[in-house]
Amino acid sequence: MRILLDTHVWLWWLSEPERLPERVASELRRSRNELFLSVASSWEIAIKHALGKLPLPEAPAEFVPKRLLRDGIKTLHIEHRHALHVATLPPAHQDPFDRLLIAQAQLEQMPIATVDGKFGRYEVALL
């Protein structure tokens, strides 16, 4: 199964895996699953780090690629169709990064690994 990781799920998986629900952690550990991190998450990480809201052991430009490579997590690139699909989503969630992740998950037919309850307001498979 192809799984899109919400930004916080990926960060928790790296530094605080005990915060993840067991079902999510179990699916992330399964070698048959392909895990994806969206470029939107890298953008979110970079912004939050620059604002001082997300401390990291090294600059995001080093932190993110190293860990993606180490853990075999694939990149989900942002395409125009993803960005434009955001306009079709109901206004149940105002976070632009999350809205883009939801649009990507819908179009790519991937469940999202998240603990954000607001994602349940959309027609998207959740893990």
Distances (CA, A) of 45 to 22, 32, 41: 24, 27, 6
User: pTM surpassing 0.85?
Assistant: yes
The confidence score (pLDDT) of residue 23 equals 87
Whether residue 93 is predicted with pLDDT greater than 80 in this model: the reply is: no
Whether residue 120 is predicted with pLDDT greater than 80 in this model: the reply is: no
The confidence score (pLDDT) of residue 9 equals 95
pLDDT digits (tens, 9 = 90+) for 11-25: 999 999 999 999 888
Whether residue 38 is predicted with pLDDT greater than 80 in this model: the reply is: yes
What is the side-by-side strand order in the sheet with 2-5?
A: 74-76, 34-38, 2-5, 112-113
Domains and CATH numbers, the chain: 2-121 (3.40.50.1010)
Whether residue 65 is predicted with pLDDT greater than 90 in this model: the reply is: yes
